[in-house]
Amino acid sequence: MRTRHRLLASLSAAALATAGVVMAAGTAEAANLLTNPDFETGTLSGWNCAAGSGSIVSTPVHGGSNALAGAASGSNIARCAQTVAVQPSTAYTFSGWLRGNFVYLGVNGGTSTWTSSAGNYTRVSISFTTAASQNSAEVYVQGWYGQGTYYADDLSLDGPGGGPGGDTQAPTTPGNVRSTGATANSVSLSWDASTDNVGVTGYDVIREGGATTSVTGTSATVTGLSASTQYRFTVRAKDKAGNLSPASAPVTATTTEGGGGPGPGRFIQAAPYLYLGWGNPPAPADVIRATGVKWFTMAFILAQNGCNPAWDSQRPLLGGTDESAIKAIRAAGGDVVPSIGGWSGNKLGPNCSTAEALAGAYQKVITAYGLKAIDVDIENTDEFESAAVQDRILTALKIVKQNNPGLRTILTFPTLNTGPNSWGNRLIEQSKVLNADIDNFTIMPFNFGGGADMYGNTVKSTNGLKDKVKSVFGLTDAEAYAKVGISGMNNMSDSNENTTTAIWTQIRDWSNANHIGRLSFWAVNRDRPNWDFTRITVGFTG
């Protein structure tokens, strides 16, 4: 069951991989040695910017979703530098795309170059050779006094990497690279782990003719793609010394058609929670641009002064921050499904005295935003464990669905690790009895207890839900899977269960393999700094 204080649960620290070097037949080939060279982590990780003068921006960029902005002033040239292990007496090339007045690119103690005035991104490059005993080099970008903000993107330091102990052995080639899912603007890939004499630190996923995505695990979701387009990928492993394995066998994958929301045919939705009622909600348009996510489940609509819907019982449907956020999401190409209810607070289900009154409250929300779908998060004793309120909610959803052709309805509720409890079973059974025509039954598979197997228990509880839906409605396994969903919890739950990015990737891949209808998690607010869980969820294709 989802409680508000889960927002304060610990955030995961995203592991950042360092780009490496190709080693083939004992010879080091050129590779990008920089950490975070294109700033797609959304942070300055790997870079040291003087006096807080550097920041990450989403526009203007040369490639991908992010770039470096250096705020040069009358007293600060906004120098951003990175120190990299190198080999002695070896040639290197440092290059990148720069924009602004008098933007420098150079190596400390050596050569530099600059662009005097660049209204658009301009490629700049230098070459240098390390000294006979040199094992590290500091490269930098900077502006100049009083010249204003500059931008840098897609930086590269090419040459053989240095490293501890003279390690020159490359990892083995990643095996069995495969596509595990696609959306209109993303492709998800997995592969078998490589081995190394010291240890593999990460992988580079190379899109033919495009950008490289760096990850630490054995899966990745490549975003920013075009709909209905075939792409070709290879994967390389990296070790701590910067050695890069040979490229894997290529794999091709095709993105789906545009859209991705509720409409004719099967209902499929990847929609992580976004909660504007917590102190530091992210700007949703920034999350969309960074990850390609198309849907948010926006929480929570509760009751205000009786049977009137309002965000958190206090913010109006129209004219406030929530409406502004929805407009921004739609302007960025996304959409929302409101979550009505939740664990705590004053809810509409008990406060609206009849199903007709409750349907009227739901209709106010639907009309305010022109919704394609709504989610009723039914929890706690006041709604979930009340037969009268369960039936009131089901009947109200039946009414609004009849009055709004094409509207999709979702019920989200708690679960045991084996599937729905007695109240969950009753909810599903009554939806059939009352002919409520619910599109998706989504469970929250967490809070089973500390140390729980979050992948195994999620699969077991979802299969239990599928079996119940199959039995009640007389469906096949495939038809029942299509009507169920998972709403997980990223990182740590209230019961000290840790759903890591690797586990969430496993859950996403299992969900794709079994073609369930919906995938969500609580919450984007807790998915900082790099939106890792959101990126994984974007790879859900149903």
The answer to whether 100 and 71 are in contact (CB under 8 A) is no
Higher local confidence (pLDDT), 361 or 495: 361
Question: What pLDDT does 415 receive?
Answer: 97
pLDDT in tens, 243-279: 889 999 999 988 776 444 454 457 899 999 999 988 6
Dihedral sign of CA atoms 220, 224, 225, 227 in order: positive
Per-residue pLDDT band at 210 (split at 50, 70, 90): low
Question: What pLDDT does 377 receive?
Answer: 98
Q: Angle formed by the axes of helices 387-403 and 355-369, to 10°?
A: 50
Residue 71's nearest CA partner among 148, 163, 153 is 148
Which CATH number is 267-414+429-454+470-538 given?
A: 3.20.20.80
Question: What pLDDT does 242 receive?
Answer: 73
Is 323 annotated in the active site?
A: no
pLDDT in tens, 149-168: 999 999 999 888 776 556 77
The answer to whether 434 and 391 are in contact (CB under 8 A) is yes
Q: What is the SS3 assignment for 336?
A: strand
pLDDT in tens, 409-443: 999 999 999 999 999 999 999 999 999 999 999 99
Residue 102's nearest CA partner among 111, 115, 121, 113 is 115
Pairing of strands 54-57, 80-85: unpaired
Alpha helices per DSSP H over 239-354: 284-291, 321-331, 348-351
Question: What pLDDT does 224 receive?
Answer: 67
Instruction: Tell me the two tokens of residue 227.
Output: 């709909």
* Total length of the chain: 542
CA 471, CA 152: separation in Å to the nearest integer? 58
Name residue 27's beta-bridge partners.
Answer: 24
Question: What pLDDT does 227 receive?
Answer: 65
Alpha helices per DSSP H over 353-453: 355-369, 387-403, 422-433
Burial class (CB in 10 A: 0-12, 13-18, 19+), 49: buried
φ, ψ of residue 311 in degrees (nearest 5): -70, 125
The answer to whether 144 and 83 are in contact (CB under 8 A) is no
- The amino acid occupying position 248 is S
Question: What pLDDT does 257 receive?
Answer: 61
> Do 267-414+429-454+470-538 and 31-159 have the same topology in CATH?
no
Q: Is the pTM of this model over 0.95?
A: no
Which CATH number is 31-159 given?
A: 2.60.120.260
CA 320, CA 184: separation in Å to the nearest integer? 31
Q: Is the peptide bond before 60 cis (omega within 30 degrees of 0)?
A: yes
CA 397, CA 392: separation in Å to the nearest integer? 9
Per-residue pLDDT band at 31 (split at 50, 70, 90): low
- The amino acid occupying position 411 is L
CA 154, CA 283: separation in Å to the nearest integer? 24
The fold adopted by the segment(s) 173-254 is: Immunoglobulin-like (2.60.40)
- The amino acid occupying position 49 is C
Burial class (CB in 10 A: 0-12, 13-18, 19+), 360: middle
Q: What is the SS3 assignment for 310?
A: strand
CA 297, CA 295: separation in Å to the nearest integer? 7
Higher local confidence (pLDDT), 501 or 13: 501
Residue 95's nearest CA partner among 111, 79, 109, 71 is 111
The answer to whether 423 and 387 are in contact (CB under 8 A) is no
Per-residue pLDDT band at 97 (split at 50, 70, 90): very high
CA 441, CA 400: separation in Å to the nearest integer? 17
Which position among 40, 379, 383, 497 bears the catalytic label? 379
Pairing of strands 335-342, 295-304: parallel
pLDDT beyond 70 at 405: yes
Rounded to an integer, the average pLDDT of 132-160 is 89
pLDDT in tens, 272-313: 999 998 868 999 999 999 999 999 999 999 999 999 999 999
Q: CA–CA distance from 98 to each of 70, 106, 121, 151, 182 (Å)?
A: 11, 12, 5, 6, 33
Instruction: Tell me the two tokens of residue 283.
Output: 């700007």
What ranges do the domains of the chain cover?
Answer: 31-159, 173-254, 267-414+429-454+470-538
Q: What is the DSSP letter of 17?
A: P
pLDDT over 90 for what percent of the chain?
Answer: 62
Instruction: Tell me the two tokens of residue 300.
Output: 């929570």
Question: What pLDDT does 116 receive?
Answer: 77
Alpha helices per DSSP H over 404-530: 422-433, 454-473, 477-481, 501-514
Question: What pLDDT does 239 receive?
Answer: 81
Residue 53's nearest CA partner among 150, 156, 153 is 150
The answer to whether 333 and 288 are in contact (CB under 8 A) is yes
The answer to whether 91 and 28 are in contact (CB under 8 A) is no
φ, ψ of residue 536 in degrees (nearest 5): -65, -45
Name residue 181's beta-bridge partners.
Answer: 188
Q: What is the DSSP letter of 337?
A: E
Higher local confidence (pLDDT), 238 or 129: 129
Residue 58's nearest CA partner among 290, 303, 343, 276 is 290
Q: CA–CA distance from 188 to each of 203, 221, 509, 513, 528 (Å)?
A: 14, 4, 9, 12, 20
The answer to whether 537 and 527 are in contact (CB under 8 A) is no
Residue 464's nearest CA partner among 524, 496, 422 is 422
The most confident of 183-192, 446-455, 480-489, by mean pLDDT: 480-489
Question: What pLDDT does 181 receive?
Answer: 79
Q: CA–CA distance from 507 to each of 15, 50, 455, 513 (Å)?
A: 20, 41, 6, 10
Per-residue pLDDT band at 21 (split at 50, 70, 90): very low
